[in-house]
Amino acid sequence: MKMLHLATILLTLSGVLTQSSDWGVKYPDKPIYAVRGFSVSIPCSYSYPTSNPNIQVTQKLWCSMNSNKGRCLDPTYVYNSASNTKSDFVYVGDDKSDCTLLIHNLQFSYSGEYRFRFITDQPSDRYTGDPGVTLQVADLKVSLIRLSGNGTLKQGDSLNLTCDVKCTHSSSQFVWSKNNEQLNTSGPVLHFPALTVRDSGSYTCTWKTNETSGFKMISLQVEGLTGENPDHWPIWIIVVLTAGLIFIIVAIPAVIYNRR
Ligand SMILES: *[C@@H]1O[C@H](CO)[C@@H](O)[C@H](O)[C@H]1NC(C)=O
Ligand SMILES: *[C@@H]1O[C@H](CO)[C@@H](O)[C@H](O)[C@H]1NC(C)=O
Ligand SMILES: *[C@@H]1O[C@H](CO)[C@@H](O)[C@H](O)[C@H]1NC(C)=O
Ligand SMILES: *[C@@H]1O[C@H](CO)[C@@H](O)[C@H](O)[C@H]1NC(C)=O
The answer to whether the beta carbons of residues 65 and 132 sit under 8 Å apart is: yes
Pairing of strands 133-138, 140-146: unpaired
Q: Per-residue confidence at 166, pLDDT binned at 50, 70, 90?
A: confident
User: For residue 15, is pLDDT > 70?
Assistant: no
Query: Does the residue 34 lie in any domain?
Result: yes
Average pLDDT, the chain: 85
Q: Of 137, 165, 182, which residue sits at a domain end?
A: 137
User: For residue 122, is pLDDT > 80?
Assistant: yes
Query: Does the residue 255 lie in any domain?
Result: no
Tell whether 57 and 131 lie within a shared domain: yes
Q: Per-residue confidence at 232, pLDDT binned at 50, 70, 90?
A: low
Tell whether 213 and 168 lie within a shared domain: yes
What single-letter DSSP state applies at residue 98?
B
43-60: per-residue pLDDT in tens?
999 999 877 777 899 999
142-163: per-residue pLDDT in tens?
999 999 988 899 999 999 999 9
158 alpha carbon, closest ligand = 3
Q: Of 137, 157, 178, which residue sits at a domain end?
A: 137
Tell whether 163 and 227 lie within a shared domain: yes
Tell whether 42 and 117 lie within a shared domain: yes
Q: Cα separation of 243 and 6, whole Å?
A: 102
**pTM: predicted TM-score of the whole model, two decimal places:** 0.75
Query: Does the residue 238 lie in any domain?
Result: no
- For ligand 4, atom 11, the nearest C-alpha belongs to 210
Query: Does the residue 251 lie in any domain?
Result: no
User: For residue 176, is pLDDT > 90?
Assistant: yes
Which pLDDT score is estimated for 182?
95
User: For residue 204, is pLDDT > 90?
Assistant: yes
Tell whether 158 and 210 lie within a shared domain: yes
The answer to whether the beta carbons of residues 163 and 174 sit under 8 Å apart is: yes
Q: Cα separation of 165 and 38, whole Å?
A: 13
Give all strands (DSSP E) within 3-138, no chain letters.
Answer: 24-26, 32-35, 40-42, 45-47, 57-64, 77-80, 89-91, 101-103, 112-120, 126-128, 133-138
Q: Cα separation of 224 and 212, whole Å?
A: 39
Mean pLDDT across 233-239: 72
Of 89, 76, 77, 17, which is closest to residue 49 (Cα–Cα)? 17
Tell whether 71 and 146 lie within a shared domain: no
Q: What's the CATH number where 179 sits?
A: 2.60.40.10
The answer to whether the beta carbons of residues 94 and 73 sit under 8 Å apart is: no
H or E segment to which residue 246 belongs: helix 235-246
- For ligand 3, atom 14, the nearest C-alpha belongs to 160
Ligand 3 centroid from CA 144, angstroms:
11
Query: Which domain does 166 fall in, by range?
Result: 139-232
Coil, strand, or helix at residue 14? helix
Q: Cα separation of 161 and 53, whole Å?
A: 58
Of 93, 118, 113, 90, which is closest to residue 25 (Cα–Cα)? 118
Which pLDDT score is estimated for 230?
52
- Percentage of the chain beyond pLDDT 90 is 61
Tell whether 93 and 50 lie within a shared domain: yes
The answer to whether the beta carbons of residues 80 and 133 sit under 8 Å apart is: no
Give me the amino acid identity at 220: L
- For ligand 4, atom 5, the nearest C-alpha belongs to 210
Which pLDDT score is estimated for 97?
93
Q: Cα separation of 227 and 67, whole Å?
A: 64
Ligand 2 centroid from CA 177, angstroms:
14
Query: Does the residue 103 lie in any domain?
Result: yes
Tell whether 29 and 125 lie within a shared domain: yes
Q: Work out the number of other CB atoms within 10 angstroms of the CB of residue 61.
A: 24
Q: Of 137, 158, 176, which residue sits at a domain end?
A: 137
Q: Ligand 3, residue 189: give the atom nearest the CA.
A: 5
- For ligand 4, atom 4, the nearest C-alpha belongs to 210
Tell whether 44 and 128 lie within a shared domain: yes
User: For residue 18, is pLDDT > 50?
Assistant: no
Q: Per-residue confidence at 257, pLDDT binned at 50, 70, 90?
A: confident
Ligand 3: which residues within 6 Å by Cβ?
145, 160, 189, 191
Ligand 4 centroid from CA 131, angstroms:
22
Q: Per-residue confidence at 17, pLDDT binned at 50, 70, 90?
A: very low
Query: Does the residue 3 lie in any domain?
Result: no
Tell whether 77 and 88 lie within a shared domain: yes
Q: Ligand 4, residue 210: give the atom nearest the CA.
A: 1
- For ligand 3, atom 1, the nearest C-alpha belongs to 160
Query: Does the residue 2 lie in any domain?
Result: no
Tell whether 154 and 85 lie within a shared domain: no
Query: Does the residue 82 lie in any domain?
Result: yes
Number of domains in the chain: 2
Of 62, 136, 58, which is closest to residue 102 (Cα–Cα)? 62
Tell whether 67 and 165 lie within a shared domain: no
Which pLDDT score is estimated for 188?
93
Which pLDDT score is estimated for 114?
96
Q: Which of 133, 171, 210 to mutate for ligand 4's pocket (most ligand atoms within 8 Å of CB)? A: 210
What single-letter DSSP state applies at residue 212?
B
Ligand 4 centroid from CA 249, angstroms:
72
